[in-house]
């Protein structure tokens, strides 16, 4: 696979160098973005280069409107579950890197996986993102798949995991088929940086040092039948504008080649990680204002994609970017194997990176409700086969919201019945009542009827 098939660095550089930021031109681009058709490379570059504050505010307003048009005022919640932190790679920004002697290494047994899952279920989680390091001498793919099966099989009273997404190192087509057979949802892997020279510098050794093997991972996943994939960049390794355009080119390549763009795009920034000196001094630090800009521009450029925000960021900034395009968030996260274990004091000794938002899951949910968003634990699309092309056919024109809002209401009603404190239940019930007005009239009565069934004890109702 040639370098230019997916990401053309020269084209990105040219787009940034020649970006036309004339106000009339920028407003034309914003108007086009509001049509939910996405943007070309040169148009995205123009928005990234805007210096005028009033124009930036217009970009932000448009990003909010596009997000509302596609996904409405709902935020999908999930929790990461780390199975292992052993790694044969030596990524300079990551605490899991092979040469980090300060890290306490762990691989969870299946019994420990079950314990972690039970604790997450008791917080109300229904969706997991499962992760492991890249070192098959400690954690094999067989063990990871067994961990997935264990997580699905582990249930507590009314708690269960209904969908597991996966973020692990790129696999062969054959191994991706095994992962698909384990009934995963979305397969996620970040390119980290699309700038080849930077990639080489920050990944000095290990399998991950191979840029082409990593960037072609989604091709192999698609060939294996995994049609929901998630991409991302680690902002701070190189010019954030370049990375946004790299993500756009990658998204367009997938859409052009397979008819299916990325189901999700993640936007993590580098945060301090014990034993990883580069993480304390990122080569290209991204300010909060730049971060808000890149989130908004990505939403306008790839309007159909789910945009994921982790607990790296502070509660304040997280709530600010909810308004700019974020549609999925982690809550109550731990980034180390065994991090949820009851009675275990949280320690940075074996976590992948430091957390900016350490609030409990219910505290995150309550704050989301108070901001006027509805927390969603929905997994309906995966389970009804609305994936890949079928999902894109609904998401691109904004039709997916006819499922998203009703299913968000129903899964949130479950949470309120089973896990919420009295205060959160009251606030959540009031929000649901107001949100029902936004449900299409033809489906509203069906949603109300299912809410009553949930209150009466039924679970897992969806459209």
Q: Which residues are CB-neighbours of 111 under 8 A, at least 6 positions away?
A: none
Is the distance from CB of 171 to CB of 134 less than 8 angstroms? no
Give the C-alpha separation, 462 to 80, whole Å.
24
Structure tokens at 60: 């932000």
Give the C-alpha separation, 267 to 233, whole Å.
6
**Residues 328-348, buried b or exposed e (16+ Cβ, 10 A)?**
bbbbbbbbbbbbbbeeeeeeb
Burial class (CB in 10 A: 0-12, 13-18, 19+), 13: middle
Cα-based angle 397, 403, 407 (whole degrees, multiple of 5): 150
First to last CA, the chain: 41
Give the C-alpha separation, 286 to 242, whole Å.
12
Q: pTM (2 decimals)?
A: 0.96
Structure tokens at 347: 């320690």
Nearest to 238 by CA among 275, 189, 192, 290: 192
Q: Which residues are CB-neighbours of 316 under 8 A, at least 6 positions away?
A: none
Is the distance from CB of 108 to CB of 116 less than 8 angstroms? yes
Cα-based angle 347, 353, 358 (whole degrees, multiple of 5): 60
Neighbour tally for 320: CB within 10 Å? 17
pLDDT tens for the chain, residues 1 to 463: 454 589 999 999 999 999 999 999 999 999 999 999 999 999 999 999 999 999 999 999 999 999 999 999 999 999 999 999 999 999 999 999 999 998 999 999 999 999 999 999 999 999 999 999 999 889 999 999 999 999 999 999 999 999 999 999 999 999 999 999 999 999 999 999 999 999 999 999 999 999 999 999 999 999 999 999 999 999 999 999 999 999 999 999 999 999 999 999 999 999 999 999 999 999 999 999 999 999 999 999 999 999 999 999 999 999 999 999 999 999 999 999 999 986 555 566 678 988 999 999 999 999 999 999 999 999 999 999 999 999 999 999 989 988 999 999 999 999 999 999 999 999 999 999 999 999 988 899 999 999 999 999 999 999 9
Nearest to 129 by CA among 171, 176, 168: 168
- Distances in Å between the Cα of 216 and the Cα atoms of 171, 173, 185, 194, 237 are 10, 11, 19, 12, 20
Count the helix, strand and coil residues of the chain and give each as a percent rounded to the nearest 5: 50, 10, 40
pLDDT of residue 341: 87
Nearest to 263 by CA among 165, 347, 195, 133: 165
Give the C-alpha separation, 323 to 320, whole Å.
6
């Amino acid at each position: 696979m040639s370098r230019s098939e997916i990401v053309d660095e020269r084209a990105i550089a040219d787009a940034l160098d020649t970006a036309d930021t004339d106000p009339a031109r920028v407003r034309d681009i914003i108007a086009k973005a509001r049509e939910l058709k996405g943007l070309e490379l040169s148009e995205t570059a123009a928005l990234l280069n805007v210096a005028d504050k009033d124009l930036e505010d217009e970009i932000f307003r448009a990003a909010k409107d596009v997000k509302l048009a596609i996904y409405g005022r709902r935020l999908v919640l999930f929790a990461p579950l780390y199975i292992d932190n052993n790694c044969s790679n030596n990524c300079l920004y990551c605490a899991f890197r092979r040469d980090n002697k300060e890290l306490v290494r762990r691989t969870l047994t299946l019994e420990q996986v079950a314990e972690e899952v039970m604790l997450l279920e008791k917080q109300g989680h229904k969706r997991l993102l499962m992760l492991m390091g890249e070192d098959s001498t400690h954690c094999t793919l067989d063990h990871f798949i067994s961990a997935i099966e264990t997580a699905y099989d582990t249930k507590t009273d009314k708690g269960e995991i209904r969908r597991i997404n996966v973020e692990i190192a790129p696999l062969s087509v054959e191994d991706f088929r095994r992962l698909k057979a384990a009934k995963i949802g979305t397969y996620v892997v970040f390119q980290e940086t699309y700038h080849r020279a930077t990639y080489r510098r920050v990944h000095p050794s290990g399998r991950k040092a191979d840029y082409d093997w990593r960037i072609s991972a989604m091709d192999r996943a698609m060939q294996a039948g995994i049609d929901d994939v998630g991409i991302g960049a680690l902002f701070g390794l190189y010019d954030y504008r370049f990375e946004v355009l790299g993500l756009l080119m990658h998204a367009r390549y997938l859409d052009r080649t397979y008819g299916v763009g990325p189901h999700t795009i993640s936007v993590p920034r580098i945060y301090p990680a014990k034993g990883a000196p580069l993480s304390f001094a990122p080569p290209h630090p991204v300010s909060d204002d730049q971060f808000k800009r890149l989130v908004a521009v990505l939403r306008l450029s790839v309007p159909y994609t789910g945009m994921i925000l982790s607990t790296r960021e502070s509660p304040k900034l997280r709530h600010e970017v909810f308004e700019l395009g974020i549609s999925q968030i982690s809550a109550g996260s731990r980034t180390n194997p065994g991090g949820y274990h009851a009675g275990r004091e949280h320690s940075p000794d074996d976590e992948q990176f430091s957390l900016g938002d350490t609030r409990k899951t219910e505290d995150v949910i309550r704050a989301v409700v108070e901001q006027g968003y509805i927390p969603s634990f929905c997994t309906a699309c995966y389970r009804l086969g609305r994936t890949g092309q079928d999902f894109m056919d609904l998401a691109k024109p904004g039709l997916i919201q006819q499922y998203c809002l009703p299913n968000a209401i129903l899964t949130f009603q479950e949470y309120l019945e089973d896990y919420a404190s009295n205060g959160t239940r009251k606030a959540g019930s009031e929000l649901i009542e107001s949100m029902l007005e936004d449900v299409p009239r033809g489906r509203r009565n069906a949603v109300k009827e299912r809410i009553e069934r949930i209150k009466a004890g039924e679970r897992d109702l969806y459209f």
